[in-house]
Amino acid sequence: MRTQVVIIGAGPAGLALGRLLEQAGVDAIILERKSANYVLGRIRAGVLEWGSVELLDRAGAGARMHAEGLVHHGTALSFDGDRMHIDFTDLVGKQVMVYGQTEVTRDLMDIRQGTTVYEAEDVQLHDFDGKPWVSYSKDGTTHRIDCDFIAGCDGYHGVSRASLPASAVSTFERVYPFGWLGVLVDKPPVDPELIYAHHERGFALCSQRSPTRSRYYVQVAADEKVEAWSDTRFWDELRRRLDPQTAERIETGESIEKSIAPLRSFVAEPLRFGRLFLAGDAAHIVPPTGAKGLNLALSDVALLGSALIEALQDGSAAGIDTYSVRALERIWKAERFSWWMTSLLHVFPETGDFGRRIQRAEFDYLMGSRAARQSLAENYVGLP
């Protein structure tokens, strides 16, 4: 078999790239290790920068997002119960769209016309420095696909980055000593906007998926077990970390999903190895605090998509030659912002009294300074 681009991974990065290529008439096959239902079962973040909204529109995948997504004009931050409003529209004239990653993935799957091989086992990358090809097995048969380019969109644990010689990649990493325990519940959100809360017991987040479905998180120790958290314990802990008015208004209920996610900052450099390119979580991880993971994945593939189209259709290497440098510039800015939001809002084992006073001073500075709030808003809605 032969195609122009083999895309490894059918997460949002792989599916969006596949769509951008097929719109331009470039032939691509996606190889995904799991089933479509498994991919759709993963609950992840749900805030889209406006650039991501526009990309999904261009991809022809925006209809349901505009019908069901919730446009947010701002967000709330709270520190030991004191609340502050960050008004994106007033500060930077932009908004975000609250629409779950699961829904983005479903919409991209629904419009895809090209081939996606689900449950492709033992995917292996070959000769990506020369004439690339990819092998995989399905139902006991091994297949070979020859191609011009390989796009590694297979997430942090994928095979693409793992196939590179260690000497070819530099990695930069920070593992945080805590995780987020998340609960999904079919109850209306406590507030029209998201609330990011710092409390001496730890961080908490009130998020949402729809007018009738909410997503809440609390910071927990990295080695915490989800089994140790009954719904009652979760709701009690969440309420303790919020301002009293919000705590009182929360509508609790039986959780429909509950899981713990570790927090990590990670970047691999470079993103190009001959005819292999990395994009999305395969190349970088951000802690979820700034809601940047999905957005970065989409901005990577916007760059990579046009670079591959240029290379295949115009014979110009300009895009593929500069992809890594251009994508990394944006990636590091999002890494910085996610790290900063995480540092401001979480309790670290080493924070101590001095550290908490500094966090409080940072919060007070934001409250008192339009310039500081503008910087937060500019990053949150997404840099160009």
Q: Provide the binding-site residues for ligand APR, judged by CB under 6 A.
A: 8-14, 31-34, 39, 44-45, 101, 120, 123, 153-155, 157-159, 280-281, 293-294, 297
For the chain, first and last CA: distance in Å? Answer: 39
Q: Which does 46 bind (CB under 5 to 8 A by kind): ligand PHB, ligand APR, none?
A: ligand PHB
Q: Which does 291 bind (CB under 5 to 8 A by kind): ligand APR, ligand PHB, none?
A: ligand PHB
Residue found under tokens 């699961």 = 102
Q: Are the C-beta atoms of 297 and 12 separated by less than 8 Å?
A: yes
For ligand APR, give the closer residue by CB, 119 or 243: 119
For ligand PHB, give the closer residue by CB, 160 or 338: 338
Q: How far is the CB of 47 from ligand PHB (least distance, A)?
A: 5
Catalytically annotated residue among 196, 216, 217, 323 = 196
Tokens linked to 351: 């924070």
Q: Which does 12 bind (CB under 5 to 8 A by kind): ligand APR, ligand PHB, none?
A: ligand APR
For ligand APR, give the closer residue by CB, 33 or 198: 33
Q: How far is the CB of 171 from ligand PHB (least distance, A)?
A: 24
Burial class of 350 by CB neighbour count within 10 A (0 to 12, 13 to 18, 19+) = exposed
Q: Are the C-beta atoms of 252 and 233 separated by less than 8 Å?
A: no
Q: Which does 183 bind (CB under 5 to 8 A by kind): ligand PHB, ligand APR, none?
A: none
Q: Are the C-beta atoms of 149 and 305 separated by less than 8 Å?
A: no
Ranges of H-type helices in the chain: 12-23, 36-41, 50-58, 63-68, 88-92, 101-111, 159-162, 231-241, 244-249, 293-309, 318-345, 352-368, 370-381
DSSP run (H or E) holding 182: strand 170-185
The type of residue at 180 is W
Residue found under tokens 């937060």 = 376
Active site residue 85: no
Q: How far is the CB of 320 from ligand PHB (least distance, A)?
A: 32
Answer yes or no whether residue 45 interacts with ligand PHB by CB under 6 A.
yes
For ligand PHB, give the closer residue by CB, 45 or 311: 45
Active site residue 211: no
For ligand PHB, give the closer residue by CB, 151 or 291: 291
Answer yes or no whether residue 69 interacts with ligand PHB by CB under 6 A.
no
Q: Which does 308 bind (CB under 5 to 8 A by kind): ligand APR, ligand PHB, none?
A: none
- Strand-strand pairing, 96-98 and 70-72: antiparallel
Dist CA 289 CA 357 (whole Å): 21
Answer yes or no whether residue 346 interacts with ligand PHB by CB under 6 A.
no
Active site residue 126: no
For 250, what's the count of Cα atoms within 13 Å in the CB-facing half-sphere?
A: 26
Active site residue 333: no
Tokens linked to 126: 């070959």
Residue 187: count of CB within 10 angstroms of its CB: 15
Dist CA 75 CA 47 (whole Å): 11
Q: How far is the CB of 291 from ligand PHB (least distance, A)?
A: 4
Name 30's bridge partners.
7, 116
Catalytically annotated residue among 12, 72, 216, 284 = 72
Residue selected from 78, 265, 289, 299 as contacting ligand PHB according to rule CB under 6 A: 289
Active site residue 131: no
For ligand PHB, give the closer residue by CB, 296 or 309: 296
Residue selected from 78, 160, 207, 299 as contacting ligand PHB according to rule CB under 6 A: 207
Q: Which does 153 bind (CB under 5 to 8 A by kind): ligand PHB, ligand APR, none?
A: ligand APR
Q: Which does 154 bind (CB under 5 to 8 A by kind): ligand APR, ligand PHB, none?
A: ligand APR
HEC profile of 9-61: CCCHHHHHHHHHHHHCCCCEEEECCCCHHHHHHCCCCCEECHHHHHHHHHCCC
Q: Under the rule (CB under 6 A), what is the footprint of ligand PHB? A: 45-47, 194, 207, 215, 288-289, 291
The residues carrying an active-site annotation are 72, 196, 288, 292, 380
